[in-house]
Amino acid sequence: MPKICLLLIVLLFYSCQKNKEDQYFDAIENNDVKLMPPTEGEWLYSHKEKGQSFDNFLKSKHAVPKKDANIIYIKPIGNFTALQTKQTELIRQYLEIYFQLKTEVLPASPNTIIPKHARRIGYENQEQFLAGYILDSVLKKEKPSNKIVLMGLTEIDLYPKPEWNFVFGLASYTQKVGVSSIYRLNDENLTNANFNLCLSRLLKICSHEIGHMFGLHHCIEVNCVMNGTNGLSETDTKQIRLCSVCQRKLNSSIKYDNKKRLIALEKYFQDNNLEEELKLMKSDLERIQ
């Protein structure tokens, strides 16, 4: 009899927890903003993606934190200014809250680690690095302790293949490595005046690319940080918020407290004077009160 009672208690606890999670996602779904039909020049106009349902995500192979694989690492590559270094620390803080996993910055490497055959001069006469080379020949060689994912961060522009002009970032689902560039996010020159705008863009790009490493595909239904974008103007129209479905996917892999995460994100945006981002978190918090 005692064993049966214990089993019933465990099952009841599991049911209550699951119901609590369902209530959270059902509540914040009211804040999801449906995407309008894409227009020429936008990502979904030229990329006919199928999207990824929650059930399809569960069936896919994706990163799940384990005792020996639970730290997110950032690898700076290049010659960062004092303001860019400050943003690197702020992105570390943000990712630690966003994914609810310990996040560390590795020692920076110079641009000289990228050989000539993985560089080119872009259409704007700017230097560019081949993103795939950084994934395969730089980041995969890094073996930091307890790594779950590793993201490189460059101050040089990136391109994914010869026929593409540029790419904000690139990630490998299978290898759990990715790279993002701050080049196009800085409005040519990062200053105190544009610091917050550029930080907001960086937070979007980095959380997007690491989201891919955790198995999230592009979101095609709702304005979401996992939307694909064709350029900076389109990135600026996308919310920093994960939609309810993408949040459910992430939370199914990383078993964090959704309300605790939301409160921490609210505080981060408040502390860093990111007003539009703060409004989104407050709106979600109002839904779950």
Active site residues: 209
Single out the residue of 243, 160, 252, 263 nearest to residue 214, CA to CA.
252
Show the tokens assigned to 134. Answer: 């950084």
CB distance 101 to 174 below 8 Å: no
Show the tokens assigned to 149. Answer: 């994912």
Burial of 288 (0-12, 13-18, 19+ CB in 10 A): middle
Show the tokens assigned to 46. Answer: 């030229």
Q: What is the arrangement of strands in the sheet containing 71-77, beginning at the earlier edge strand?
A: 103-105, 71-77, 147-154, 177-181, 169-172
Amino acid present at 47: H
